[in-house]
Structure 1
Amino acid sequence: MATQGHPRDVVVLSGKRTGFGTFGGTLKDFTATELGVFSSKAAIEAAGLTPEQIDHTFFGNALQTSSDSIYLARHVALRSGVPQERPALTVNRLCGSGFEAIVQGAKEILLGEADVCLTGGTESMSQAPHVVRGARWGRNLRLGPAGGQFEDLLWESLLDTNCDLTMAQTAEELADRYGVTREEADEVAVNSQQRAKAAWDAGYFDAEIAEVVVKSRKGETTFATDEHMRPETTMEALGSLRPYFRKDGLVTAGNASGIGDGAASAVVASAEWAEANGVQPLARIVSWGFVGVEPQVMGIGPAPAARLALERAGLTIDDMDLVEVN
């Protein structure tokens, strides 16, 4: 079947990403916009295109941490050389914002309103600011009830006030509901770290990395790795860590999702355009699915979403050779 059941096919021409910096690490001084430019320039070049061939730019960004974040997609496009006449849109579907950007590009192509789209996602969690609520209107800067409300935007953004749970606490809720044990959670974490290191050592990631030039008083260096990896992690080490949110819980500093900085970009196009212009696609977009789930167990979302995407494609999980869940 063609993409999402439409008569047209949408294909991926290229994909590039920066290495991912750890929280407060090498990339901490780059805005999300700047990181998006690095990956976007590399993706356009990898596709064998020029910026002038981009019809529309879609970029995902969940946590807006820099002063130019409201212009993010537009600035990524312009600084990547895309003509100013070509529009851009920033999208936010939280953890799925980068995927949402790809889907928006695909929809634009399926509607016949674009042939080629630059898509991607970018985050600089290290630049999440502290804010003082009410300071604009004369509240003083003293801490406590007498002063303005001093707020860590990163922490507050990871708290879903609709269910009054942090993202990590929703993992605890999931564990209760589905019977996940601490040992199983630690095992997944160890395997993930070891597989990441093995993939790097085998060179699997080399072709997808967009180098980031880091300037300092000592000169320029090139950043092209994932510095958040902890391949030395062992089950014994993880087992010694105390649960962070519950006395008998399973989420620890060692098995929780990491906080970091980085960006990824992909160029998508109609299959007809790619063929007419002699561009060899990397892949074809078959289908997608978005669903809503209980906020208390938000992490289960990929399961029903995958079922919907498979249903739309007329496929089953047994037809899949590889399953990746982010």
Structure 2
Amino acid sequence: MKKIQVLGGARTAMCEYVGTPGFGLFKDVSAIELGAQITREALRRTEIDPSDVDHVVIGNVMQTSADALYGARHVALRADLPIATPALTVNRLCGSGLQAIITGAQHIQLEEAQVVVSGGTENMSQCPHVIRGAREGFRLGQGKLEDLLMASLLDPYCGLFMAQTAEKLAAQYEISREEQDEFAVTSISRAEAAQEKGIFDPEIFAVEVKRGKEMIQVDRDDHIKPGTTQEKLARLRPAFGKEGTVTAGNASGIVDGAAAVILAAEDSSVAQDREVLGTVKGWNVVGVDPSVMGIGPAPAINGLLVAQGLSIADIHLFEINEAFSAQYLAVEKELGLDRDKVNVNGGAIALGHPLGMTGTRLVLTVLHELRRRGGGLGVASACIGGGQGIAVLVEAA
């Protein structure tokens, strides 16, 4: 396998969506613009000339702006890459940001590219309401708005909302409401501590937005809720039924953001005689029962490690997306994970889950944390709505 280096990267802050009163800092910045700004910054940080980039691969799930169908192509053009540089948008739902890295790595392995920008972007604040059938016209009183953000949380194949798939895992793995809330508090406490210590600062690029009459720099993840306790979480109503265990407090947040990394072949001219963030060593994608989609990381990680001749004990750190506490805890039980090695600076319950961005953010975060600790192997993984799991193995330089 050709050695694939992660030269570096950057991400925006992850900002609470506009549906939460008082929030929505990125409500007027499209996913395309977020992606373009972070691509430009990733190139600046790695000192890569845009003309050296052979391909751009960007993950995006919800096409929420008028230019969204142009996706990665417009990200590349707005980031000042040459007209001749091709670009591809990928959508593997919650795994899109990881898939962008996998696809970029595959381009390099196949010697179709030497340098690739891989990333993910999502603006959930801009997710529209639609009126289906309007092109045909309506009778008096007809026409109904459909919230595409709410619709995205339902898998019509299995007929379950994502929270209901987490409820199934909670029942199957005997995970109580108390355990879920306890884990949520752990995630939030870790993220709060990391933010206070400036641990996320090397990852984040400040985006300038207009707030009121002023321009401000957005450089802090704002979904983190300081002072969260189990007692406070226990007061929240379950999302589905009185006997349910999944709540807004032990589920991932709806946020906006973008991330990008620069991948390069080890033997490329741009990778010579330079410090790099790490290497991509392998990946794996699997399918699972859609009604328990959240278990996806377990077989994805297992298959990845078997293929690499590794065990769980060989991995120094994991970043596993926390779609729901119940979902993560099921994966933890299935794999026998040591919680002290997983999401050590908090996860999506604390920080939020911008669908297309998340996977790239996981890789960026685990590589930075591994470097802080002196290096080692890391795994970034996510469950995927519709019943899939995805995992990427990296090593910090």
TM-score range, shorter chain: over 0.9
Q: How far did residue 241 of structure 1 move?
A: 1.1
SS class of match (2:287): coil
State the match for 2:59 in structure 1.
60
Deviates more, 1:45-54 or 1:213-222: 213-222
Map 1:1-326 to 2 at 5 A: 6=1, 8-24=2-18, 25-140=24-139, 142=141, 147-273=142-268, 277-326=272-321
Change (3 A) 1:247 1:217: closer
Unaligned runs of 5+ in 2: 19-23, 322-397
Change (3 A) 1:163 1:201: same
Q: How far did residue 276 of structure 1 move?
A: 5.4
Whole-Å Cα distance in 1 between the matches of residues 98 and 139 of structure 2? 42
Whole-Å Cα distance in 2 between the matches of residues 319 and 246 of structure 1? 41
Q: How far did residue 60 of structure 1 move?
A: 0.2
SS class of match (2:165): helix
2:12 and 2:259 in contact (8 A); partners too: yes
Structure 1 vs Structure 2 CA RMSD: 1.3
Whole-Å Cα distance in 2 between the matches of residues 175 and 262 of structure 1? 29
Whole-Å Cα distance in 2 between the matches of residues 61 and 254 of structure 1? 25
Identical amino acids, percent of aligned pairs: 51
Residue-by-residue CA offset, 1:163-199 (whole Å, 9 max, x unaligned):
1111111111111111111011101111111111111
SS class of match (1:44): helix
Q: How far did residue 38 of structure 1 move?
A: 1.8
Q: How far did residue 41 of structure 1 move?
A: 1.1
Residue-by-residue CA offset, 1:248-287 (whole Å, 9 max, x unaligned):
1111121111101001101001011167543322111111
TM-score between both structures, scaled by the size of structure 2: 0.78
Deviates more, 1:297-306 or 1:244-253: 244-253
What amino acid is aligned across from residue 138 of structure 1 in structure 2? G
Whole-Å Cα distance in 1 between the matches of residues 104 and 176 of structure 2? 40
TM-score between both structures, scaled by the size of structure 1: 0.94
Q: How far did residue 246 of structure 1 move?
A: 2.1
2:48 and 2:270 in contact (8 A); partners too: no
State the match for 1:3 in structure 2.
none
Q: How far did residue 139 of structure 1 move?
A: 2.2
Whole-Å Cα distance in 2 between the matches of residues 46 and 19 of structure 1? 17
1:60 and 1:122 in contact (8 A); partners too: yes
What amino acid is aligned across from residue 257 of structure 1 in structure 2? S
Whole-Å Cα distance in 2 between the matches of residues 200 and 141 of structure 1? 54
Q: How far did residue 217 of structure 1 move?
A: 4.9
Residue-by-residue CA offset, 1:191-232 (whole Å, 9 max, x unaligned):
111111111111111111011011245231100000111121
1:274 and 1:281 in contact (8 A); partners too: no
Q: Which has the higher relative contact order, 1 or 2, with Cα contacts under 8 A spaced 6 or more apart?
A: 1
Unaligned runs of 5+ in 1: 1-5
2:266 and 2:272 in contact (8 A); partners too: no
Whole-Å Cα distance in 1 between the matches of residues 278 and 187 of structure 2? 25
4+ residue segments displaced more than 4 Å: none
SS class of match (1:267): strand
Deviates more, 1:186-195 or 1:107-116: 186-195
Deviates more, 1:24-33 or 1:210-219: 210-219
Q: How far did residue 239 of structure 1 move?
A: 0.7
SS class of match (1:278): coil
What amino acid is aligned across from residue 23 of structure 1 in structure 2? Y
SS class of match (2:247): coil
What amino acid is aligned across from residue 289 of structure 1 in structure 2? N
What amino acid is aligned across from residue 17 of structure 1 in structure 2? R
1:47 and 1:279 in contact (8 A); partners too: no
Aligned residue-pair number: 316
1:132 and 1:141 in contact (8 A); partners too: no
SS class of match (1:241): coil
Change (3 A) 1:232 1:140: farther
Change (3 A) 1:180 1:141: farther
SS class of match (1:289): strand
